[in-house]
């Protein structure tokens, strides 16, 4: 996992991670498959309310990547984001929609 975190574009690191996950039997894990399918549906808009698009390029943080509270009815389109030091944070983006009220 660390090699992919260090070099996310490295095909060799990605292949090594895929092999390790396969050897660990995670490819047959039904809970992981369920979460992966939910993620695919969310990304493709299958679970959305329609008309919402958020497209972000690669986000790379030196420490962490923090993403939350993105609301769109229409489009939010960003390119790649990089934090050379500390965290890369993407938060509170609203486009063409009213942000949900905090309770």
**18 Cβ contact partners less than 8 Å away, ≥ 6 residues apart:** none
Break the chain into its structural domains and give their ranges. 1-48, 49-103
**67 Cβ contact partners less than 8 Å away, ≥ 6 residues apart:** 56, 59, 89, 90, 91
Looking at residue 80, its pLDDT comes to: 80
**32 in Cβ contact with 22 (< 8 Å):** no
Looking at residue 47, its pLDDT comes to: 44
Rounded average pLDDT per 10-residue block, the chain, 103 residues:
77 84 80 79 58 71 77 76 80 68 59
Looking at residue 48, its pLDDT comes to: 46
Looking at residue 43, its pLDDT comes to: 67
Looking at residue 103, its pLDDT comes to: 57
Quote the pTM value: 0.35
């Amino acid at each position: 996992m660390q090699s992919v975190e260090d070099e996310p574009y490295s095909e060799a690191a990605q292949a090594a991670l895929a092999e390790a996950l396969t050897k660990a039997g995670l490819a047959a894990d039904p809970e992981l498959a369920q979460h992966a399918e939910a993620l695919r549906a969310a990304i493709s808009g299958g679970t959305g309310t329609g008309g919402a698009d958020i497209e972000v390029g690669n986000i790379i943080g030196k420490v962490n990547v923090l993403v939350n509270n993105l609301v769109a009815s229409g489009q939010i389109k960003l390119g790649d984001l990089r934090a050379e030091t500390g965290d890369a944070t993407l938060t509170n983006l609203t486009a063409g929609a009213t942000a949900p009220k905090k309770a």
